């Protein structure tokens, strides 16, 4: 009797016994090796004919027992691992689950309103001009007909740079007007959107930083009527075709005559009453004909050219467009507030 065949059974038995199954991968390896269609036990059955006839039955029984012990080990290991999901039996990703919500970003309400206003003026030929936020005294004040000791400097509580009092955080984007006028000659038609700073006590209605858009139009024969029509066009684009506007006389050092424009909001309920301080009118912007002194300061011939300018705060318009009760909400970056503008 050849011993070889019997040894093969013993070897296989110890391979089965020694095979470590401690995870689903190993379980699968085990299955392929001992129970799969190309398992290593199967070829042993061919050796039945090499065995002496009287021993064949026993040999066959041993092979079957070997196979069963592999099956048994597989079943035991499988139920031991049972609670652990197997890659093969259960997909680790459930493709039928709804996806995680992917939060959409939102534009800041200031940006939304600013873009809309810029858009309105770009449609009629204004181009956007942007400039520095740290500005020298001349461009922020002097060029704009507000020399040192001019009482109008008190209107705008200014942040001066600690090291050099000649520099300020710009108090209005009129400084951009000054820069453009000194760099170029009419026709000039620009809007200047940007952030400005004033040393004001922070409250529900005012902040030390806010945004403005200023406009400037200089050419031959530009009149107050041109300004009025431009501003009416703007008000209609922003607040609807039926909007009513009014111009009230006002004062700015850099314009003469000067006015403030109000938009009629309505006075139907308590909120209207609060927003408009009981008048029904919202103060939207300051405007006027560019003072000839400003043109001369900036090297533009005031005998030949005239122009108008206007300036508006963005925060207030955002506040009444979206009924935001407190200006500070615009600067706190609270995601609960900002996410409300996802579809705005
Ligand atoms: N610069 C003015 C302000 O900040 C606004 C303004 C601009 C008024 C242009 C008239 C003309 O209040």
Q: Give pLDDT < 50 ranges for the chain.
A: 1
Ligand 1 centre from 245 Cα, in Å? 18
CA-proximal residue: ligand 1, atom 9 (nearest): 310
Atom of ligand 1 nearest to the CA of 290: 11
CA-proximal residue: ligand 1, atom 6 (nearest): 311
- CB of 210 within 8 A of CB of 314? yes
Best CA proximity match to 8, nearest among 179, 169, 16: 16
- CATH architecture of the domain with residue range 109-341: 2-Layer Sandwich (3.30)
Give the per-residue pLDDT at 1: 47
Give the per-residue pLDDT at 94: 79
Ligand 1 pocket mutation, candidates 192, 252, 258, criterion most atoms within 8 A of CB: 252
Give the per-residue pLDDT at 152: 67
Atom of ligand 1 nearest to the CA of 216: 9
Give the per-residue pLDDT at 182: 94
Give the per-residue pLDDT at 81: 83
Q: Which residues of 47-75 are buried (b: 16+ CB within 10 A; e: fewer)?
A: beeebeeeeeeebeebbeebbebbeebbe
Residue boundaries of the structural domains of the chain: 4-88, 109-341
Question: How big is the chain, counted in residues?
Answer: 344
Give the per-residue pLDDT at 319: 86
Ligand 1 centre from 232 Cα, in Å? 17
pLDDT tens for residues 32-64?
999 999 999 988 888 888 888 888 899 999 999
Angle at 198 between CA 193 and CA 201, to 5 degrees: 130
Where does ligand 1 bind, in terms of residues with CB under 6 Å?
172, 174, 214, 252, 255, 286-288, 309-311
Give the per-residue pLDDT at 252: 93
Task: Give the chain as a 3 state SS string.
Answer: CCCHHHHHHHHHHHHHHHCCCCCHHHHHHHHHHHHCCCCCCHHHHHHHHHCCHHHHHHHHHHHHHHHHHHHHHHHHHHHHHCCCCCCCCCCCCCCCCCCCCCCCCCCCHHHHHHHHHHHHHHCCCCEECCCCCEEEHHHHHHCCCCCCCCHHHHHCCCCECCCCCCEEECCCCHHHHHHHHHHCCCCEEEEEEEEEECCCCCCCCCCCEEEEEEEEEEECCCCHHHHHHHHHHHHHHHHCCCCCEEEEEEEECCEEEEEEEEEECCCCCHHHHHHCCCCCEEEEEEEEEECHHHHHHCCCCCCCCEEEEEEEEHHHHHHHHHCCCCHHHHHCCCHHHHHHHCCC
């Amino acid at each position: 009797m050849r011993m070889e065949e019997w040894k093969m059974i013993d070897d296989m038995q110890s391979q089965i016994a020694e095979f470590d199954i401690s995870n689903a991968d190993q379980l699968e390896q085990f299955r392929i090796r001992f129970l799969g269609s190309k398992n290593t036990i199967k070829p042993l059955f061919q050796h039945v004919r090499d065995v002496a006839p009287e021993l064949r039955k026993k040999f066959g029984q041993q092979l079957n027992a070997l196979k069963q012990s592999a099956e048994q080990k597989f079943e035991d290991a499988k139920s031991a691992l049972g609670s652990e999901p197997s890659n093969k039996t259960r997909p680790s990703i459930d493709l039928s689950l709804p996806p995680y919500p992917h939060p959409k970003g939102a534009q800041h309400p200031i940006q939304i309103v600013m873009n809309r206003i810029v858009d309105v003026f770009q449609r009629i030929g204004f181009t956007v001009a942007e400039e520095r936020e740290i500005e020298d005294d001349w461009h922020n004040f002097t060029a704009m007909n507000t020399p040192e000791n001019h009482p109008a400097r008190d209107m705008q509580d200014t942040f001066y740079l600690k090291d050099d009092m000649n520099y300020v955080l710009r108090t209005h984007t009129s400084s951009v007007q000054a820069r453009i006028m000194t760099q170029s000659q009419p026709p000039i038609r620009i809007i200047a959107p940007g952030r400005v700073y004033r040393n004001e006590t922070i409250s529900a209605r005012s902040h030390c930083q806010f945004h403005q858009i200023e406009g400037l139009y200089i050419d031959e024969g530009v009149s107050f009527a041109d300004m009025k029509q431009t501003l009416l066009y703007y008000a209609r684009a922003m607040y609807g075709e039926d909007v009513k506007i009014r111009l009230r006389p006002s004062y700015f050092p850099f314009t003469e005559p000067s006015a403030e424009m109000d938009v009629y909001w309505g006075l139907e309920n308590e909120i209207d009453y609060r927003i408009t301080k009981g008048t029904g009118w919202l103060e939207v912007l300051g405007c006027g004909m560019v003072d000839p002194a400003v043109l001369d300061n900036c090297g533009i011939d005031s005998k030949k050219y005239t122009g108008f300018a206007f300036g508006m705060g963005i925060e207030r318009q955002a506040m009444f467009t979206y009924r935001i009760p407190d200006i500070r909400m615009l600067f706190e970056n609270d995601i609960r507030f900002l996410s409300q503008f996802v579809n705005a």
